[in-house]
């Protein structure tokens, strides 16, 4: 029994499917090794911190003395290789979580330097890059600057050092993932090199990493190679497809305390915040995360291998080292991008009957099309694909709770492109 027992897939695609799987086996073995390492790391953190049934019961009201919340945050700190962490369902999104961290550290008159070029669309309003929007960092007198990437999409180390020598910056900000760009995502080795460059010239600068999409992809996390602060979303990697919402911030203890004061209010900080029965989902999601991330990375490798065989440009390529779960496929036309997303939606466990169309999504400058048939709305750890309808008409695909169903979604994306005339295959 195979996919043709359930879905109509062209025989030519099935032959390429087999070849893509064969081409991915070496990478799959490496992914399994990393997933096992990270799973054991998480298991060890659960055991070390004494998780029990009682700590997952939750709290109401102010949430004082919520032991389950405190233990969960200690576990997250251990998993991230950090001194301390905040992990709350009350963070509304990754952007919200990053905003709390930025406002927690930066003060009026401070300068922040983004050392990985222009950040992705939803965070530009937080910095106030294009305009001083109401409540942005710029509105509070925080000055923003960036060092553009080199022509190959990698950080400009010499340019970073020169700018840090020219001006004093409170924070050096690193975006690990690519956002809606075709530049490479950063590996832990890349981040280590950036931290070293900052420390060499401006040791007093806080190095913060937007870690979204990168957790558990490698054996180490940014704090383990010198970053002072990391933040991310629980409906991406560390929520394991179980956490229904939330985010985390991890790093040096004194910085976490500052972020906690912004998360709630000064003088109270992390001591309040009812968990409202969500603790169990956050515990379960974090425990499942290393395996689920491994499945998502396998899906990305397979997608890269398949679409490379189909003649498309992919980034990363199948054999390249990965810093996150995102796979970029440059489809070359609006019709190809739309068909890809519509086909992937048709293979989703939720809302498969929906036909996505481009729309004016808040926070983005171009119409965006999104395929996201997920159990949790917007959960990027579940199989999804999206992209702005603009050149080079690339799809950014991520997630996959398990490889077998995710692979079906990828094949259905290719099948829809074939049916719409956006894909040519020889006999």
Residue range 285-336, pLDDT digits in tens: 999 999 999 999 999 999 999 999 999 999 999 999 999 999 999 999 999 9
The pLDDT score that the predictor gives to residue 157 is 98
Say yes or no to pLDDT of 132 above 90: no
362, with CB counted inside 10 A (0-12, 13-18, 19+), is: exposed
pLDDT of residue 363: 63
Last residue of a domain, one of 274, 302, 327: 274
CB 232 within 8 A of CB 211: yes
Q: Do the domain assignments include residue 197?
A: yes
Which CATH number is 234's domain given?
3.40.640.10
Tell whether 280 is covered by a domain: no
According to the model, what pLDDT value does residue 121 have?
A: 80
User: Strands across the sheet with 84-88, in order?
Assistant: 84-88, 247-251, 229-233, 206-210, 171-175, 111-114, 143-146
User: How many structural domains compose the chain?
Assistant: 2
Q: Compute the average pLDDT of residues 345-374.
A: 90
Q: Is residue 326 domain-shared with residue 405, that is, in the same domain?
A: yes
Q: Are residues 119 and 8 in the same domain?
A: no
384 shares a domain with 338? yes
- Looking at the DSSP bridge assignments, the partners of residue 175 are 210
Residues 24 and 101 in one domain: no
Query: Has residue 1 got a pLDDT over 60?
Result: no
Decide if 29 is inside a domain.
yes
**9 vs 247: CA distance, rounded Å:** 38
Band of the pLDDT at 44, cuts 50, 70, 90?
very high
> Is the domain of 314 the same as that of 268?
no
Strands 171-175 and 384-388: unpaired
**Res. 131: pLDDT tops 90:** no
Dihedral through CA 212, CA 213, CA 216, CA 222, nearest 10?
Answer: -40
Per-residue DSSP letter, 186: P
**Tens-place pLDDT, residues 192-238:** 999 999 999 999 999 999 999 999 999 999 999 999 999 999 999 99
Q: Does residue 52 belong to any structural domain of this protein?
A: no
Residue 2: per-residue pLDDT: 83
Percent over 70 (pLDDT), the chain: 99
Token pair recorded at residue 31: 């992914």
CA–CA separation, 80 and 222 (whole Å): 8
On whether both 227 and 354 belong to a single domain, the answer is no
Residue 427 is predicted with a pLDDT of 65
State pLDDT tens for residues 64-104: 999 999 999 999 999 999 999 999 999 999 999 999 999 99
Same domain, 305 and 405: yes
Q: pLDDT tens across 274-285, in order?
A: 999 999 999 999
Confirm whether 47 is domain-assigned.
no
pLDDT range class, residue 167, cuts 50, 70, 90? very high
Together in a domain, 312 and 234: no
Residue with tokens 């956490």: 243
For residue 50, is it within any domain? Answer: no
Weakest-pLDDT range from 180-189, 245-254, 296-305, 409-418: 180-189
Q: Distance (Å, rounded) from C-alpha 271 to C-alpha 264?
A: 9
Q: Does residue 369 sit in helix, strand or coil?
A: strand
Confidence of residue 366 (pLDDT cuts 50, 70, 90): confident
Q: What is the pLDDT of residue 309?
A: 97
Query: Domain containing 25 — which CATH number?
Result: 3.90.1150.60
Looking at the structure, tell me whether residues 133 and 26 fall in a common domain. no
Instruction: Look at residue 63 in the predicted model and tell me its pLDDT.
Output: 95
**Positive or negative CA dihedral for 103, 109, 115, 120?**
positive
Domain-ending residue, one of 216, 251, 274: 274
Indicate whether 134 pLDDT > 60.
yes
Q: Model's pTM, two decimal places?
A: 0.95
Q: Under a CB-based contact definition with an 8 Å cutoff, are residues 377 and 351 in contact?
A: no
Cα gap 384→125, rounded to integer Å: 24
pLDDT for the residue numbered 329 = 96
Measured from the Cβ of residue 107, the count of other Cβ atoms closer than 10 Å reads 12
Boundary residue ending a domain (229, 248, 274): 274
Q: How confident is the model at residue 159, as a pLDDT? A: 98
Q: What is the mean pLDDT of the chain?
A: 95
Q: How is the beta sheet containing 368-371 ordered, strand by strand?
A: 313-315, 327-330, 394-398, 384-388, 368-371
Q: Are residues 389 and 410 in the same domain?
A: yes
Residue 427 lies in a domain: no
In a domain, 45, yes or no: no
State whether 292 and 351 are in the same domain: yes
pLDDT at 130: 87
Q: Same domain, yes or no, for 201 and 325?
A: no
Cα dihedral 242, 243, 247, 248, rounded to 10, equals: -70
Q: Take residue 26 and report the two structure tokens written for it.
A: 């070496």
Domain that holds residue 135: 60-274
């Amino acid at each position: 029994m195979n996919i043709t027992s359930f879905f109509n897939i062209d025989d030519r695609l099935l032959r390429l499917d087999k070849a893509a799987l064969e081409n991915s086996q070496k990478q799959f073995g490496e992914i399994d090794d990393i997933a096992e390492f990270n799973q054991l790391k998480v298991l060890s953190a659960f055991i070390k911190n004494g998780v029990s049934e009682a700590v997952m019961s939750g709290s109401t009201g102010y949430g004082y003395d919520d032991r389950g919340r405190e233990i969960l945050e200690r576990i997250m700190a251990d998993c991230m290789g950090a001194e301390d962490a905040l992990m709350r369902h009350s963070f509304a999104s990754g952007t919200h979580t990053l905003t709390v961290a930025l406002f927690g550290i930066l003060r009026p008159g401070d300068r922040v330097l983004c050392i990985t070029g222009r950040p992705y669309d939803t965070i530009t309003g937080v910095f106030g890059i294009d305009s001083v929007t109401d409540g942005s960092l710029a509105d509070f007198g925080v000055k923003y600057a960036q060092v553009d990437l080199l022509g190959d999409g990698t950080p400009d180390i010499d340019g970073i050092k020169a700018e840090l020598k020219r001006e004093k910056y409170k924070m050096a900000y690193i975006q690990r993932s690519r956002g809606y760009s075709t530049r490479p995502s950063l590996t832990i080795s890349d981040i280590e090199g950036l931290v070293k460059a900052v420390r060499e010239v401006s040791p007093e600068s806080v190095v913060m990493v937007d870690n979204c999409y990168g957790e558990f992809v490698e054996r180490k996390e940014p704090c383990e190679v010198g970053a002072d602060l990391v933040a991310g979303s629980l409906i991406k990697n560390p929520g394991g497809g179980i956490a229904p919402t939330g985010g985390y911030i991890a790093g040096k203890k004194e910085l976490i305390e500052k972020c906690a004061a912004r998360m709630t209010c000064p003088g109270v900080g992390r001591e309040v915040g009812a968990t409202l029965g969500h603790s169990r989902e956050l515990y379960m999601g974090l425990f499942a995360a290393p395996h689920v991330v491994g499945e998502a990375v396998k899906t990305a490798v397979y997608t890269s291998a398949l679409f490379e065989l189909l003649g498309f440009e992919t980034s990363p390529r199948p054999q390249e080292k990965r810093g996150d779960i995102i796979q970029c496929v440059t489809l070359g036309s609006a019709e190809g991008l739309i068909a890809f997303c519509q086909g992937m939606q048709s293979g989703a466990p939720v809302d498969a009957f929906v036909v996505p169309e481009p729309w004016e999504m808040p926070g983005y400058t171009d119409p965006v099309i999104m395929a996201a048939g997920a159990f949790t709305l917007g959960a990027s750890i579940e199989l999804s694909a999206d992209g702005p309808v603009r050149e080079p008409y690339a799809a950014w695909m991520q997630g996959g709770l398990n490889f077998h169903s995710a692979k079906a979604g990828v094949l259905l994306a290719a099948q829809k492109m074939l049916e719409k005339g956006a894909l040519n295959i020889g006999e």
